[in-house]
Amino acid sequence: MLNAVVALTAVLVCCSSPVAVRAQVAAARETSVVGSGAGAVVAAWSFKTGGSVYSSPASANGVVYFGSYDNKLYAVSARDGRTLWSFKTGSRVLSRPAVANGAVYFGSQDNRFYAVNAADGRERWKFKSDYAVNSSPAVSNGAVFFAGTNGILYALDAATGQERWRVSLGVGTPSSPVYADGAVYFGSARGLHAYDAATGQGRWKYLTAHAVVSAPTYADGALYFGTLGGGLFALDAATGKELWRATAATGVPFSAAADGMTVYFGSLGGTVYALDARTGRELWKFESAAGVASSIAAADGLVLFGTTRGLQALDARTGQARFEFVTNRTVSAPPAASEGLLYFGSWDGTLYAVRPSPR
């Protein structure tokens, strides 16, 4: 149910003076090229927060939205990193925000899920959960879906925050949900599940021997996901029927990326795999010296992922290293790509905007 009375009121604040912002952006523009391999990358700007930036940002309509360990959700200009607004919650924001209907939806470790105006950050509504909300939401057809660390998947009315339905798994924490074709898909300690988005009724479940801790990836009617036991799977999204399976040398706690006819997985052992999306046949693999610390993203011919020291980019076709942008701290989520720029956060407390150089 909606939380009618809250002890902590989230407030809209401006976190930097115009002079400070101009100085910060100017300093970022002086950052040198950091690259290795066949390509390079140029820093466009950076934005410093008061805590680690754990999850991916969302980019929409010229604005980048992201959360921080300093308890805030930020909105900054995608062009130059200028502060637009920030919204303070009662705890750390690990949730990747979703932008829809003129609103930004996200969770916080203060046990609340929020909807705020995308334009000015003013609160629209908040929903009280029993536990922290680290899940990244999915929004579609007037509903918003997210998982709590209490093992419950929620569906709320996106306009009002009223609860539509909930599903309790009884064990473990569900992964972030994915919406496609009238269904909500998510992983759990027991496997992968599909529920009707309108009613919350179960459609199918696919049991695995090891936990599925990251959101599945939907592409062309198929779902791709990994398990902590190293299993790599492709299922028919409509029926839950297995299309193929493969095996990684170590656990796969990260979401995959699908790019045309190829799907990319990262593993705890530091290996990135490129597999044929139709058959699961291995096309190439890359061993990362700095490990794999995030889910995978694919954009503009690049495969992108975080490591223990920054952002790594590979050539999507060959698996060869294109560049590495070093932050000297862990990057635990893949970047968002928009209009030639990559936006990503680091545990050094900074959101970076970088531009890959043409090959």
CB neighbour list of residue 130: distance below 8 Å, 6 or more residues apart: 111, 148, 150, 152
pLDDT at site 39:
52
Positions of the chain with pLDDT lower than 50, given as ranges: 1-34, 37-38
Q: What are the domain boundaries of the chain? A: 12-356
DSSP 134-196: -PPPEEETTEEEEE-TTSEEEEEETTT--EEEEEE-SSS-PPPPEEETTEEEEEETTEEEEEE
Q: Counting runs of H as helices and runs of E as strands, what totals does the chain give?
A: 1, 33
pLDDT at site 150:
84
CB neighbour list of residue 23: distance below 8 Å, 6 or more residues apart: none
Residues in the chain, how many? 359
**Could you give the C-alpha distances from 295 to 23, 114, 185, 213, 218, in angstroms and in order?**
33, 24, 17, 11, 14
pLDDT digits (tens, 9 = 90+) for 49-85: 999 999 999 999 999 999 999 999 999 999 999 999 9
pLDDT at site 259:
87
pLDDT digits (tens, 9 = 90+) for 97-130: 999 999 999 999 999 999 999 999 999 999 999 8
Q: Report the CATH number of the 12-356 domain.
A: 2.130.10.10
pLDDT at site 358:
75
pLDDT at site 7:
29
pLDDT at site 33:
40
Encoded tokens for 180:
């496609």
